[in-house]
Chains A and B, each alone.
Chain A
Amino acid sequence: MNAPFHPEQTSLDLLKVGTRARVSSVDWTALDEGEACRLRHFGFDEGVIVEPLHLGPFGRDPIAIRVGRMTVAIRRRHAGAISVQPIR
């Protein structure tokens, strides 16, 4: 009944540039070990605030994302494994 309902739940690759969002979950199984490890190194984790800043000029890939105080670039495919909850 009181199951958490998040109408705006989306994935990081679909988030608009300049929209801040909170990471709700990361599908670690969609990534290989090295990729998953690197994302953790960058600080991607549940509860962390992220914000897409820039998109690559060709096919809007890769995506530059602000995580904590860092800016990192990851490919669209990897961003798709990260579910986020936009912050109003």
Chain B
Amino acid sequence: MTPLPLVAVAGSPNAGKSALFNALTGARQKVGNYPGVTVERHSGRLTLADGRPIELVDLPGAYSLEPASPDEAVTRDVLVGQQKGERRPDALVVVVDASNLDNHLRFCLQLIELGLPTIVALNMVDLAKRDGLELDPKVLESELGVPVVETVAVRRRGIAELQAAVDDMLSAPFCGVHERVKSDLIHLQRRAREVATAAVVSETPVRRWTHRLDSVLLHPIAGPLILSAIMFVMFQAVFAWSVAPQDWIGNGVAWLSGVVTTALPPGLLRSMIVDGAIAGVGAVITFLPQILILFFFILLLEGTGYMVRAAFLMDRLMHGVGLSGRAFIPLLSSFACAVPGIMATRTIDDPKDRLTTILVAPLMTCSARLPVYTLVIAAFIPNNRLAWGIGLQGVVMFGLYVTGVCGALLAAFVLRRGVLKGGGGGFMMELPKYQWPLLKDVLIGLLTRAQIFLKRAGTIILGTTIILWALASIPQAGPGQKQSDVSIAGKIGRGIETVVRPIGFNQDISMALLPAMAAREVAVSAIATVYSIDSPDDQAAATTLQKRLQHRWSLATALAFLAWFVFAPQCISTIAVTRRETNGWKWPLFMVSYLFVLAYAAAGLTYWTAVALGL
């Protein structure tokens, strides 16, 4: 069987390439990784008028065939037929921004020189008109020597015409006898300006929309204030909107484990499915609503063009610790959950900047730490009023957040001077025109992210939860024995205990550390299990647990435990996503190790200081 004809969609960044790809393929897209690099491959199917299917691949945006980033290197390699895991495309659809032809035609001319059958999609003609620019596609067609189709991808205009052109291109016999003249960039740039000038019918100078918006949104005082307001709304939404869906998921998980419990006879299999798989995966997917809401905002910020403005505003501050402004939104998102934060680092061009951001993202206090913090603070920190409206408990909670941020900045600073030294292509990016993205494009993006998280992280999460279950359930306790004493996990817990005893952790804590690898908030239920607290009433159980902790832990131990959770990488979802985003186990292992070392040191310092102070 001959493979389907492969058509590549190529273009400069901000030409509206992804929207055009979405318009052509719809929601059925496959997302994978190119082998050996952390560049995503998006592909989809398109059916021609005669029913023939073709494969469409969305190449990473590039300014030219001389790459300045790993993404651009992949684009070049695919186009010249040297990319592993991809055959050379049979034809090209080149997307150019109608209002930025001087620049985009350079890459377009370079692509036409490749000698493949090519169609040019003159995209965003509506925005060009808004800016007072009138173009003649016929002139462009004769200057470039290839068909030109006018499109507005985000409004789905011109898509049928483009599809028809692709149809014609693949049906016509192509005699690829183009002379391969490789023109240099300077020459191409001049030619691009000539063609662009020739294609202009009329140009009325108007006050550009984007410039007017930018003078407010990038204003030295108003800009940061508006950014704070947008971030405030985003966080409000993440926590307020996720309450109901989290309840549904919780109820769904409870219902499912109820069904399985009645359907299966008691025994190891039932325990594995109910206590292992369902409970473990259930604990992790509770965070799915938060992850999706965060992603919705991230995609919206990207789609409107505001994302790079936020990076512009924050670049100087982030630059101080060796990161770029691009790291700001991913790191801020990590305050809700590190998973979308780490996945959003795709927008960072420089590989070392990106890796540093991924490695420090777990230090941002995510929402899974809150149940742990709340429990321990409520049990050990007296609710004294320090001043009007300021309580000691709140101050401790705030201190934990600040410690996380300082830890992240310090870690970034050290990483950029140590293992991730050099590079740092600085901060050079285009500020695209503002536009309102199509909700459908945002939803397609959301669906893709959710699929990646559930598929890639899901397999690792499922595997790990079953392993954790097996460690906790095998061998089974006989009569009069406690399961947590006889199990392998119990033995490992005792092993951990010898390591963590110097930093003030008792046996109960060391027993909870292993199960809490699934997700941090599992620590709470794991400690409850150690104390054999099994109350159907959550409120009563929490109170009992608090009393028990006060009884069994010293204040120094409690503080050390809090310090541990600021740093410890106890979250398999984060580890799994880091593996996917760095394309291997090297960096997730590095991340886990340095964070555990930091956690140990922080907990130790806290414990020893507290003991020395007589707490």
Pairwise interchain contact A43-B431, C-beta atoms closer than 8 A: no
* Contact indicator per residue, chain B 221-260, by CB within 8 Å of chain A (1) or not (0): 1011000000000000000000000000000000000000
- A residues 58-85 in Cβ contact with B at 8 Å: 58-59, 61-62, 64, 68-75, 77-78
Complex Cα–Cα for A57 and B218 (A) = 8
* A-chain residues with CB within 8 Å of residue B220 when the two chains form the complex: 55-57
A74 touches B103 (CB 8 A): no
Q: Is the CB of B429 within 8 A of A72?
A: yes
B185 located at the interface, meaning its Cβ lies under 8 Å from any Cβ of chain A in the complex: yes
| Contact A71–B313 (Cβ < 8 Å) | no
**Given B66, B103, B189, B312, which contacts A73 in the complex, CB threshold below 8 Å?**
B312
Interface SS of B by simple majority: helix
**Which residues does chain A contribute within 8 Å of B427, judged by CB atoms?**
62, 73-75
Chain A residues with Cβ under 8 A from B429's Cβ? 72-73
Report the minimum CB–CB distance from B302 to chain A (whole Å).
16
Query: Which candidate, B209-217, B393-401, B539-547, is the interface stretch facing chain A?
Result: B209-217
Cβ of A39 and Cβ of B428 under 8 Å apart? yes
Q: Find out whether the CB atom of A75 lies under 8 angstroms from the CB atom of B426.
A: yes
A71 to B218, CA, bound (A): 13
- Residues in B whose Cβ lies below 8 Å from that of A45: 186, 189
Contact flag A35-B425 (CB < 8 Å), given A56-B312, A62-B315, A64-B431? yes
B476 CB contacts on chain A under 8 angstroms = none
Complex-state Cα separation, A55 to B312, whole angstroms: 9
A64 to B315, CA, bound (A): 12
Contact B218 A64 (CB under 8 A): yes
Cross-chain contact B102 with A78 (CB below 8 angstroms)? no
In B307-322, which residues have CB < 8 Å from any A CB?
308, 311-313, 315-317, 319
B99 within 8 A of A: yes
B64 CB-CB contact with A under 8 Å? yes
Q: Which residues of B96-112 have CB atoms within 8 Å of chain A's CB atoms? A: 99-103
Partner of B308 from the list A53, A61, A73 (CB cut-off 8 Å) is: A73
CB distance from A38 to the nearest CB of B (A): 5
CA distance A53 to B430 in the complex (A): 13
Which residues of A have CB within 8 Å of B425?
A: 32, 34-35, 38
Shortest CB–CB separation between residue B127 and chain A, in angstroms? 11
Identify 18 new A-B residue pairs, CB closer than 8 A, beyond the known A43-B103, A77-B426: A34-B68, A35-B428, A38-B425, A40-B185, A42-B428, A45-B189, A56-B316, A61-B315, A64-B312, A69-B102, A70-B430, A71-B211, A71-B214, A72-B428, A73-B427, A73-B428, A73-B429, A78-B426
Interface membership of chain A positions 31-51, coded 1 if the CB is closer than 8 angstroms to chain B and 0 otherwise: 010110111111101000000
A71 touches B430 (CB 8 A): yes
Interface size on B, residues (CB 8 A): 39
The docked-state distance in angstroms from the alpha carbon of A74 to that of B316 is 11
In the assembly, what is the distance between CA of A3 and CA of B214, in Å? 41
Instruction: Enumerate 18 A-B pairs (CB-CB under 8 Å) in ascending A order.
Output: A34-B68, A35-B425, A37-B68, A41-B63, A43-B103, A55-B220, A56-B313, A56-B315, A58-B316, A61-B319, A62-B312, A62-B316, A64-B312, A64-B431, A73-B311, A73-B427, A74-B427, A75-B315
Q: For the complex formed, measure the closest distance between the CB of B18 and the CB atoms of chain A, giving whole angstroms.
A: 19
Chain A at the B interface: mostly helix, strand, loop or mixed? mixed
Task: Give 3 closest A-B pairs by Cβ, nearest first.
Answer: A41-B63, A58-B316, A37-B68
Chain A residues whose C-beta falls within 8 Å of the C-beta of B67 in the assembled complex: 37
Interface size on A, residues (CB 8 A): 31
Give B contacts to A, CB under 8 Å: 63-64, 66-69, 99-103, 185-186, 189, 210-211, 214-215, 218, 220-221, 223-224, 308, 311-313, 315-317, 319, 325, 425-431
Chain A residue with Cβ nearest B423: A34
B128's nearest neighbour on chain A, judged by CB, is A69
User: Nearest chain A CB to B9's CB is how many angstroms away?
Assistant: 19
Residues of B within 8 A of A40 (CB): 64, 185, 189
CB-contact partner of A43 in B99, B102, B211, under 8 A: B102
Chain B residues contacting A62 (CB-CB under 8 Å) are 312, 315-316, 325, 427
CA distance A68 to B425 in the complex (A): 23
Q: How far is the CA of A37 from the CA of B189 in the complex (A)?
A: 13
Contact of A57 among B64, B313, B431 (CB under 8 A): B313
Query: Are B189 and A71 in contact, CB atoms less than 8 angstroms apart?
Result: no
CB distance from A71 to the nearest CB of B (A): 4
Cα distance A17–B43 when bound, in Å?
Answer: 43
Rounded to whole Å, the gap between the CB of A63 and the closest CB of chain B is 9
Question: Which residues in A have their C-beta under 8 angstroms from that of B223?
Answer: 57
The answer to whether B68 touches A38, judged by C-beta atoms less than 8 angstroms apart, is: yes
How many Å lie between the Cα of A5 and that of B186 in the bound state? 26
Q: Which residues of chain B have C-beta atoms less than 8 A from A69's C-beta? A: 99-103
**Smallest distance from the beta carbon of B16 to chain A beta carbons, Å?**
15
Please state if A37 and B66 are interface contacts (CB–CB under 8 Å).
yes
Contact residues in B for A78 (Cβ distance below 8 Å): 426, 428
A22 at the interface (CB under 8 A from B): no
Specify which chain B residues have a CB less than 8 angstroms from the CB of A41 in the assembled complex: 63-64, 68
Contact of A53 among B186, B211, B316 (CB under 8 A): B211
CA distance A56 to B67 in the complex (A): 28
Q: What B residues does A38 contact at CB under 8 A?
A: 63, 68, 425, 428
How far does the Cβ of A28 sit from chain B's closest Cβ, in whole Å?
12
Residues of B within 8 A of A57 (CB): 220-221, 223-224, 313, 316
Q: How far is the CA of A64 from the CA of B430 in the complex (A)?
A: 9
Which residue from chain B places its CB closest to the CB of A46 in the assembled complex? B186
Least Cβ–Cβ distance between B69 and chain A, in angstroms: 8
Q: Is A20 an interface residue (CB 8 A)?
A: no
Q: Do residues A64 and B214 form an inter-chain contact, with CB atoms below 8 A? A: yes
**Complex contacts, A73 vs chain B, CB 8 Å:** 308, 311-312, 315, 427-431
Instruction: Compute how far the CA of A35 lies from the CA of B316 in the bound complex, rounded to whole angstroms.
Output: 18
Chain A residues whose CB sits within 8 angstroms of the CB of B311 once the complex forms: 73
